[in-house]
Structure 1
Amino acid sequence: MGGFWPVADVLEHLAGQWRVERTVRDLTSGDEGLFRGITVFGPLEGGGLLHEESGTFTWQGVPRPAERTLRFLPGAAPGTADVRFADGRPFHELDLTTGRYVAEHPCAADLYRAEFTVRDADHWRTVWRVGGPDKDLVLSTDYARVG
């Protein structure tokens, strides 16, 4: 890859619908799962975006419906986002002005560390590394704009 694609305003950039493909690898067991679905970043009352993801997650050969909801609120600096769980708890900041951002989220005994990269106007990726006493996971997600 020849570098990153800078994003002036993360909320403006993410608005719309994205195809999602995520691999989940358990580095301890060697098990691997696959999520395929759609993420919609729609307007949130009061400003920001509501991130709604739905699709099918297949783990150990068993497909199951899966979904999650996040809130992407305007961040402290112009063009950035304050990402929160559906219930409003803080998740992480997001600043894609350089096309790349590293975020961390401590969760009980686990640490979630992500790298966000933007390839171009229609493609971006996240790679989460999750480590803790009972977890050693890598979640790689590719997003491609729909339409």
Structure 2
Amino acid sequence: MFSPVPDVLAYLAGRWTVIRTLEDLSTGATGEFRGTADIQPSGDGTCALFVEDGELTWGGTTNQAGRTLHLLPRPDGTADVTFADGRPFHDLDLRSGRWAVHHPCGRDRYEGTFTVVSPDEWQVRWRTAGPAKDHVQQSVYRRAPSLPPGH
């Protein structure tokens, strides 16, 4: 069962914990990203900034990792998602609680599925196939607990 979201930016606003598993299907290698995602209005109010920060463990090595995306609101409660440099990534419509997208990247193709599990959890699955990549990423986002004032 999916939880419908009438306004994607209102739902996503705030701080989330992120656990992402990664698997390279061609080699069997696996990895994990653990961190946070902060989704806040941009300084100029034109979009929301989606900033992930954490640690990626891959091949026995752990490094800092992160990314920034822009969520540009549409009047119907959906959004366009762009990379930090403004290049288009995909659209995002969670009004039914589930959304499928695709993104060409060179000759590879990313197929994504977004699922709203509850008011405090959503998940994303990316399957990437092509000559350069053959992998699956599965992410679970859980709303981070609020800190008491002064912390």
TM-score (norm 2): 0.93
Aligned to 1:146: 144
Cα distance in structure 2, aligned partners of 1:135 and 1:89: 20
Cα distance in structure 2, aligned partners of 1:95 and 1:51: 16
Secondary structure at the counterpart of residue 129 of structure 1:
strand
Instruction: Write the letter of the residue equivalent to 1:145.
Output: R
Aligned to 1:89: 87
Query: What are the ranges of 5 or more consecutive residues in structure 2 without an aligned counterpart?
Result: 146-151
Cα distance, 1:135 vs structure 2: 1.0
Which runs of structure 1 show a deviation greater than 4 angstroms over 4 or more consecutive aligned residues?
Answer: none
Cα distance in structure 2, aligned partners of 1:79 and 1:103: 17
Secondary structure at the counterpart of residue 96 of structure 1:
coil
Aligned Cα root-mean-square deviation (Å):
0.8
TM-score (norm 1): 0.96
Aligned to 1:67: 66
Aligned to 1:118: 116
Aligned to 1:22: 20
Q: Percentage identity across aligned positions?
A: 49
Cα distance, 1:128 vs structure 2: 0.3
Cα distance in structure 1, aligned partners of 2:35 and 2:19: 7
Aligned to 2:38: 40
Aligned to 1:104: 102
Query: What are the ranges of 5 or more consecutive residues in structure 1 without an aligned counterpart?
Result: none
